[in-house]
Structure 1
Amino acid sequence: MALCLPALLSAGPPARAQSASPPAREVVLPIENVRFEYAQVLAVRPVQQVLRTTSTERVCSDPSRPEVLVPENVLNARRNAAEAAGRPPPANLRHCRMAPVVREYQRPIAYDVDYVYRGNKFRTRMGRDPGNRLRIRISIMPAPLE
């Protein structure tokens, strides 16, 4: 069987098929040369996400100030009871109402990092603050021939 294998390989395809296709070229894949070094960080700026929450909370007015926002016809039970009994309403009575309260929170979702390596400035976005130096990956590979 070993004798038949070279005979099959040397026979090749028919002559008509050889003339129609270009000759096969050997493909060589270059090896990537990689090393790691450190770059100096110039600036780090957090990228903020703004979160807004709305909740309904009890908001009470100061009894020393007249409440402008509450309509005249809205009175609470203590005031009605005091007026019905013929007594003046208590001085420390506070007007309370339920009101929507909007709060904003900011949280960092990423960091824009400016750094310099061998005199060239670069910018990248990272998930965490790298500190004063940044480990970078240096990859050297020949450009493909055109």
Structure 2
Amino acid sequence: MGILLPESANTMMCLRLLPLLLFAVAAAPASAQDVTLTQLENVRFAYAQVLRVTPVYQTLTATAMVETCTPDPEEEDVGSRLSRVVGAVRGVLGREPEEPEEVNERDCTVVPVRREFQRPIAYDVDYVYKGSKYRSRLAEDPGNRLRIRIGVTPVVSSSRED
């Protein structure tokens, strides 16, 4: 016959978990085949010599409303200008009571005026590193030299294609 074990709570729990543990151990090799290893990248930093920096501009258009007035033909008359000057001098010297000036109504209209201006939004940078030329678009002007990140990762393929 068999050996009788004392029935305790721990023994009963172990017996209940045994099928689950056996299933997990059996499934482990199958799931291990699906795992792909990722290579860590070898990274270092260096400096490249900047050859040329070309700003990239954004053209913006702004519209402003400007009041334009057509001059009165009387205002352009030299004689009327001279008479106004003489009248002003006579008024100051003669101490005569001032008469209200005539207000000439001018023909004024509000006209939209478009203005275009440019602002730099990026910089195209040509640079050389170890004899090879490169181009990148950067947010800021890097100056004479550019700090670059050099990363080397081997290409691992599942089939041999040489």
- TM-score band by shorter chain is 0.5 to 0.7
Query: TM-score scaled by structure 1?
Result: 0.61
Q: Which has the larger radius of gyration?
A: 2
| 1:128 maps to 2:140 | yes
Q: List aligned pairs for 1:29-68, cutoff 5 A.
A: 29-59=38-68
In the alignment, structure 2 segments of 5+ residues that lack a partner are 1-13, 83-103
Higher helix share: 2
Cα distance, 1:137 vs structure 2? 0.2
Identity, in percent, stands at 45
Cα distance, 1:90 vs structure 2? 3.9
Query: TM-score scaled by structure 2?
Result: 0.56
Cα distance in structure 1, aligned partners of 2:152 and 2:40: 9
Cα distance in structure 1, aligned partners of 2:61 and 2:129: 40
| 1:108 maps to 2:120 | yes
Cα distance in structure 2, aligned partners of 1:104 and 1:89: 42
Q: Identify which of 139, 142, 145 aligns with 2:154.
A: 142
Alignment length, in residue pairs? Answer: 115
Relative distance call for 1:60 and 1:26 in structure 2 (3 A) is closer
Cα distance in structure 1, aligned partners of 2:130 and 2:156: 25
Cα distance in structure 2, aligned partners of 1:38 and 1:11: 52
In the alignment, structure 1 segments of 5+ residues that lack a partner are 64-74, 83-87
Q: Identify which of 22, 27, 40 aligns with 1:8.
A: 22
CA RMSD of aligned residues (A): 3.8
